[in-house]
Homo-oligomer: A and B are copies of this chain.
Amino acid sequence: MNKKGLLVVVSAPAGCGKDTILECAFEACNNLHYSVSVTTRKARPSEEEGIHYFFKTREEFEQMIQKKELLEYTEYDGNFYGTPRKYIPEMLEAGKNVVLKIEVEGAENIKRIYPDCVRVFILPPSFEELERRLRKRGTETEETIKNRVGIAKIEMSFVKNYDYVIINADIEEAVKDFTAIVQAERLSAKRGIPVIS
Q: Which residues of A contact B (CB under 8 A)?
A: 121, 123-127, 156, 159-160, 162-167, 176-177, 179-181, 183-185, 187-190, 193-194, 196-197
A166 to chain B, nearest CB (A): 6
> Assuming A127-B196, A165-B193, A196-B124, is B187 touching A181 (CB within 8 A)?
yes
A160/B189 in contact, CB under 8 A: yes
> Assuming A123-B196, A125-B196, A127-B196, is B183 touching A163 (CB within 8 A)?
no
Inter-chain contacts of A124 with B (CB < 8 A): 196
Inter-chain contacts of A185 with B (CB < 8 A): 184
A166 to B196, CA, bound (A): 12
Inter-chain contacts of A194 with B (CB < 8 A): 123, 165, 167
A128 to chain B, nearest CB (A): 9
A16 to chain B, nearest CB (A): 10
A189 to B160, CA, bound (A): 7
Inter-chain contacts of A160 with B (CB < 8 A): 189, 193
A197/B126 in contact, CB under 8 A: yes
Question: Which B residue's beta carbon lies closest to that of A162?
Answer: B189
A196 to B188, CA, bound (A): 29
A164/B180 in contact, CB under 8 A: no
Inter-chain contacts of A162 with B (CB < 8 A): 189
A191 to B63, CA, bound (A): 43
Complex partner residue of A188 from B164, B167, B187, B190, CB under 8 angstroms: B164
A124 to B197, CA, bound (A): 10
> Assuming A177-B183, A181-B187, A187-B177, is B164 touching A126 (CB within 8 A)?
no
> Assuming A179-B180, A197-B126, is B164 touching A187 (CB within 8 A)?
yes
A190 to B125, CA, bound (A): 20
B196/A167 in contact, CB under 8 A: yes
B180/A163 in contact, CB under 8 A: no
